[in-house]
Structure 1
Amino acid sequence: MIQDSTYFLPGNRNGVLLIHGLTGTPTEMRILAKGLNAAGFTVYGMQLAGHCGNEEDLCKTTWQDWYQSVEQAADFLATKVDNLFVAGLSMGAVLSLKLAADRPEQIKGVGVYGVTFFYDGWSIPFWAKHSFFLLGWLKKLNLFQKMLFNEQPPYGLKDERIRATVSESMIGGDSAAAGLAGNPLPALAEMQYLVKHVKPLLSQIYVPCLIMHSTDDDIANINTNAGFVQQSIKGRSKLVKLDESYHLITIDRERRTVINETIEFFNDVINGLDNVEDRGHG
């Protein structure tokens, strides 16, 4: 049964919508949420459709369902704030970029954390790196749809203490706290469909983007993912490289850096918006 793991932290009239990753949970964004809220931001940690349940729950949904839940969350948060930002981890970053492309007037800036367009990190087996493109065809042909791509150590975490806690919850079946232990092939196929859809949209993004990525990402290589985004978008961007984390940078060793960089970047955007308004009234 799917559990509701969303959270809303009220603050000022500047809001941040946080989007977790595929098979993940809003919990992986909670530390960042608390940091942003302590700095004054209103924060909504949303839950993607089909998540925080079991593999069957997830496989009933498509990427369009995931994105629809993002749009609904953005609509909700927009009623509470004047300036709306969005930030996501892994697949959540891909969804964040789509929202920025689709809503250029509404979204003021984007936090892009461990963005995953390609599963090509050092922990991904060679055969998997070169077969992900087949997933869409397998789903259309209804082949191997009960298979799972199981998460392997280090589970995106360099910090061994946090890794032990997360893996215990994950393997123990607490998907609301730590996400699923495996990626169902149908969900990975939907992820491929999403990536194919979003890639051409990157050139339509003109809002400022903070791109943060580990140089040692075990899931998504920094050059082909973060570098790809920075080269493709048209707006101002800042790339922050992290050397002491793996994929889940919002909860790994440099989580405080993620918080501080995000606060500084979004506040700079807000100050720029304020200056524009001041000039408009002058």
Structure 2
Amino acid sequence: MVRKIIKKAKNIFFANPGLLFANEKHLVNKSFYFKGDNNKAVLLLHGWTATPYELRRLGTFLNQNGYTAYAPVLRGHGTKPENLAKVRYNDWLNDARGAFEKLKRKHDKVFVIGTSIGGTISLELAKEKKSIDGLVLMATPYRVKLEELMIAIVWFLSFFKKYRKKFYPPTFGSRKTITRVISYQIYPIANVLETAKIIRRSRKNLSLITQPCFLLQSKSDHIVTYNSLTKIFKKITSEKKQKKYIKRSYHTFISDIKNEHVFKDILKFIESI
């Protein structure tokens, strides 16, 4: 009986990857560009080891509401883990810069939306590009859990192993989620240090962030510290800023839960700017 209740709850709250992209497997590793009609655009930046597909439903929703939605594949992603091994975080920043400039040339307003490391990249981009009209940061780390220990372990392991299988908390179980299906499940150990470098960099000079900003984070995020959202929220100097914690989800809530309410919150925020 208990197992049936748990299974039913998961079906209610978590999106079924089989149903969502049964006919879209050819799109999983692709960038997407949906042309809008209101002369406003959103740049969507995916997380580490993932692909733009984790933001595709959000991009589709925003496009249906008039926005051009563009999500590039960040360097080293959407192919095989070996291609991520030699990528540096500056490569991801350059990808984001190029994508933003592409949108800015053709649109009156451009908003940047990032999830996880995509959110970290968004922070760095916003420090440089004051012409960004607004930010939406999802599951964006100020720190990751046990950060210093994690870095030390990764550094040590890198001398003996090149790749490592992803770890999921026991509460995650064997459940398939969109992120789990589309992401690399084996990653180059050395590249973890690149994520650590850009997270550390993003913590500095957060007062330079003056653009309107909406921060969202899961209450049960198993990767970033619980106070990451509030730390970033307090340190940015945006006059217009708001925050929200998401219930019943893990780190990548934007793709893993039935989250149309989050889509609407994001739309409401960017339309208020």
- The TM tier, using the shorter chain, reads 0.7 to 0.9
Instruction: Classify the secondary structure of the residue corresponding to 1:36.
Output: helix
- Tell me how far 1:151 sits from its aligned partner: 3.4
Match of 2:263 among 248, 253, 259: 259
1:146 aligns with 2:162: yes
For 1:7 and 1:241, locate their aligned partners in 2 and report how far apart those are by CA, in whole Å: 28
Corresponding letter in the other structure for 1:78: K
Match of 1:166 among 178, 191, 207: 178
Q: Assess, with a 3 A threshold, how the Cα gap between structure 1 residues 165 and 132 changes in structure 2: closer, same or farther.
A: closer
Q: Assess, with a 3 A threshold, how the Cα gap between structure 1 residues 229 and 207 changes in structure 2: closer, same or farther.
A: same
Corresponding letter in the other structure for 2:221: D
- Tell me how far 1:239 sits from its aligned partner: 0.5
1:82 aligns with 2:100: no
Residues 151 and 183 in structure 1, CA contact (< 8 A), matched pair in contact too: no
Residues 137 and 214 in structure 2, CA contact (< 8 A), matched pair in contact too: yes
For 2:129 and 2:40, locate their aligned partners in 1 and report how far apart those are by CA, in whole Å: 17
For 2:170 and 2:92, locate their aligned partners in 1 and report how far apart those are by CA, in whole Å: 26
Unaligned ranges ≥5, structure 1 = 121-127, 171-177, 270-282
- Structure 2 residue aligned with 1:234: 237
Q: Assess, with a 3 A threshold, how the Cα gap between structure 1 residues 145 and 228 changes in structure 2: closer, same or farther.
A: farther
- Structure 1 residue aligned with 2:51: 25
- Structure 1 residue aligned with 2:8: none
Deviations 1:227-274 (A, max 9, x none): 1110111103101111122111111325212211111100101xxxxx
Unaligned ranges ≥5, structure 2 = 1-27
Corresponding letter in the other structure for 1:147: Y
User: TM-score with structure 2 length normalisation?
Assistant: 0.82
Identity %: 27
Residues 49 and 65 in structure 1, CA contact (< 8 A), matched pair in contact too: yes
User: TM-score with structure 1 length normalisation?
Assistant: 0.79
For 2:99 and 2:107, locate their aligned partners in 1 and report how far apart those are by CA, in whole Å: 13
Deviations 1:75-107 (A, max 9, x none): 111122110110100000000111111111x10
1:217 aligns with 2:221: yes
Q: What is the Cα-based RMSD across aligned positions, in Å? A: 2.4
- Structure 2 residue aligned with 1:117: 142
Runs of 4+ aligned structure 1 residues displaced above 6 Å come to: none
